[in-house]
């Protein structure tokens, strides 16, 4: 059986997989055009959050070797 390919767009969005198997990603809006954003938006966008449970199955399929 050939090796499965990892979708690079999905692997770049995933920050890490925790020991309990949860998928963590960074919030958006932190990088680009920060000058016009409020301080509250900038501070909250730098944090990491768990991926929504409805999306976990899709991310695990797109990144087959990161789920261990």
DSSP label at residue 36: G
pLDDT value for 42: 86
49: Cβ contacts below 8 Å, ≥ 6 apart: 24, 25, 26, 27
pLDDT tens for 3-53 read 999 999 988 888 888 888 889 998 888 888 888 999 898 888 888 899 999
Q: Are 26 and 48 in contact (CB under 8 A)?
A: yes
8-62 CATH pick, 4.10.410.60, 3.90.180.10, 3.30.930.10, 3.40.1280.10: 4.10.410.60
Helix (H) or strand (E) holding 11: helix 8-13
Q: Where are the domains of the chain?
A: 8-62
Of the pLDDT bands very low, low, confident and very high (cuts 50, 70, 90), residue 54 is very high
């Amino acid at each position: 059986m050939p090796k499965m390919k990892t979708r690079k767009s999905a692997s770049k969005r995933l920050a890490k997989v925790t020991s309990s198997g949860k998928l963590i990603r960074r919030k958006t809006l932190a990088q680009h055009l920060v000058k016009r954003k409020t301080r509250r938006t900038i501070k909250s966008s730098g944090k990491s959050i768990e991926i929504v449970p409805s999306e976990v199955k899709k991310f695990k399929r797109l990144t087959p070797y990161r789920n261990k």
